[in-house]
Amino acid sequence: MKALHVIFITLAFLLLASPAVLMPFFSDAVNTEKRELSEFPALYDGEWNDDFSEELNTWVQEHIGLRNQMVSANSLLRSRLFGQSATETVIVGKDGWLYYSDTVNDYLHVRTLSERNVRCVVRTLAMLRDYAVEQGSAFVVALIPNKNSLYGDAMPWNYRPLPEENNLSLLTKALEEEGIRVAGAEEALRNEGRVLYQKTDSHWTYEGALAGYRAIMEASGMEYERFETLSFRDAQDWPADLAVSLYGEAAQPEWQRYPDIDFTYEYTSRAPAVDAITLTTAKEGGTGNLVMYRDSFANTMQVYFAESFETACFSRALPYQAELIGRHQADLTVLEIVERNLIHLAERAPLMPAPCVLLEADAQVMPEESAQIFAEQSGSYLHLYGTIDEALLGPEYRVFLLAEKDGETLAYEAFPIFEKELLGNEKTGDNGWSLYLAEDDVSGAALSLLADTGGRALCIPLTMPQP
């Protein structure tokens, strides 16, 4: 009996000690978490490190042997046995479905865009549309629904949507009222009558992407290749983003429906990766030129555009680079964005030269402290941005920068966008303004801000800051 106790204690000790003993053999283990792991701390580097023990503890936790395997095992047990997620970024649904946690507010119909945000986004996209039209391009906005907006039946029972309209619905209606072409992606996907998103990934399949492509092209009013006879082949080899985030090394590949076609377009950009910041293609015999501002949902959709257009430019750069429209002589400009990212439209203005406009208005002069102004150099442009006292604004507003120089006053329309990151705010505001100008346009000029709040015009003097 004593021998059994010794064996049991020895085995228990070896089991508990194995992660530390195996640590040297896992120094090059794959880090499945999307963050930088800590480096081994220095006890003395010119002076004693008072935080050495705390930093050493963190390093051991992040580098201990079998760490990834234990993290994966914990995630599998919690999700399979208790329906719980071991990470804040993933929601475990029913029947093996996974959802991205950043989509919860949209699913519950919690408004993250204020009424004024919606109007500001609409005005911003109308200005970008007008710029595109001046360049000879049609303009389409494609708002792609989240997975649980279409297939929410597998969401946990305690997630119950409010009886309110969500961001997607409100913004779609407001854009259509403004006369901006909106691709009916949600309707097109629903009309397909089958699941076109993946169970353990946050995106659609190539078959779903084809439905999105057709919806965009229908909204453009242009003739296009429909790929009517296209068939698909199934393969279980897709690295599903939600599964990898939750299960790490234990994640199983997801089924994907690949288009069974030999695409003949060619990559013309230096970086041919589907998620490159800028990707350009050319297709002999294609029709017209395309510029698409896109997010990750275009990874599987861009093959259809590349095969249809003579040239195509897909850009993930932020802010949106308006000059791409003219540079690529776009016949069609598409702004594609998924539902969960709609709030970003209210947080960053496109990089586009501010349009010069004619104004005739009697304005009430307000104190200088009624507005903020900041400046930064952005390439060849001077980026001016700031805020306006919220108490002065109504449900919607337009903003103009007045530059008086040599007896002449020029007016430039600003985007009504709250530059959240540049302003250092944690929350998205709805009282901002932002515009890009050549430095000569404002050098030596007396500046003021004209805010048209719908019911009255307010003039606020500005002091030009140093960029």
pLDDT in tens, 11-21: 555 544 445 45
Residue 193, token pair as written in the block? 């009558």
pLDDT tens digits for range 334-374: 999 999 999 999 999 999 999 999 887 678 889 999 999 99
Residues in CB range of 322: below 8 A, 6 or more apart: 128, 131, 132, 350, 351, 352, 353
Contact between 204 and 254 (Cβ < 8 Å): no
Q: Supply the pLDDT for residue 69.
A: 47
Residue 159, judged by CB atoms within 10 A of its CB (0-12, 13-18, 19+), counts as: middle
Cα distance between residue 97 and residue 152, in whole Å: 10
Contact between 108 and 160 (Cβ < 8 Å): yes
Cα distance between residue 292 and residue 19, in whole Å: 49
pLDDT tens digits for range 68-106: 444 444 444 444 444 444 468 899 999 999 999 999 999
pLDDT tens digits for range 48-67: 766 667 766 676 666 554 44
Alpha carbon 385 to chain centroid, angstroms:
21
Rounded to the nearest 5 degrees, what angle is found at the Cα of 211, between the Cα atoms of 323 and 168? 65
Alpha carbon 127 to chain centroid, angstroms:
20
In terms of Cα–Cα distance, which of 369, 371, 416, 419 is closest to 397? 416
Residue 326, token pair as written in the block? 């003219």
Residue 205, token pair as written in the block? 């399949």
Cα distance between residue 148 and residue 155, in whole Å: 7
The tokens 């990898």 sit on which residue?
244
Residue 24, judged by CB atoms within 10 A of its CB (0-12, 13-18, 19+), counts as: exposed
Q: Residue 319: is the preceding peptide bond cis (ω within 30°)?
A: yes
What percent of the chain has a predicted confidence (pLDDT) above 90?
72
Cα distance between residue 47 and residue 335, in whole Å: 54
CATH topology of domain 356-462: Immunoglobulin-like (2.60.40)
Is the C-alpha dihedral spanning 41, 52, 34, 349 positive or negative? negative
Helices vs strands, H then E, count in the chain: 14, 20
Any idea which of 139-148, 204-213, 269-278, 415-424 has the lowest mean pLDDT? 269-278
Per-residue pLDDT band at 22 (split at 50, 70, 90): very low
Residue 382, token pair as written in the block? 């001077």
pLDDT at 285 exceeding the cut of 90: yes
Strands 232-238 and 381-387: unpaired
CB atoms within 10 A of CB 390: 10
pTM comes to: 0.83
Cα distance between residue 406 and residue 400, in whole Å: 19
Alpha carbon 417 to chain centroid, angstroms:
16
Q: Supply the pLDDT for residue 312.
A: 98
Q: Supply the pLDDT for residue 406.
A: 85
Cα distance between residue 405 and residue 142, in whole Å: 41
- Where do the domains of the chain lie? 99-346, 356-462
DSSP H or E stretch at residue 392: none
Residues in CB range of 138: below 8 A, 6 or more apart: 132, 181, 220, 221, 222, 331, 332, 333
Per-residue pLDDT band at 29 (split at 50, 70, 90): very low
* Mean pLDDT (the chain, rounded): 87
DSSP reduced 3-state for 52: helix
Contact between 407 and 453 (Cβ < 8 Å): no
Strands 181-183 and 138-144: parallel
The phi and psi torsions of 78 (rounded to 5 degrees) equal -65, -40
Q: Supply the pLDDT for residue 62.
A: 60
Strands 408-414 and 457-462: unpaired
Cα distance between residue 251 and residue 76, in whole Å: 9
Contact between 239 and 253 (Cβ < 8 Å): yes
Contact between 450 and 363 (Cβ < 8 Å): yes
Q: Supply the pLDDT for residue 362.
A: 79
Q: Supply the pLDDT for residue 35.
A: 55
Cα distance between residue 112 and residue 74, in whole Å: 33
Q: Torsion over CA of 211, 213, 215 and 218, rounded to 10 degrees?
A: -130
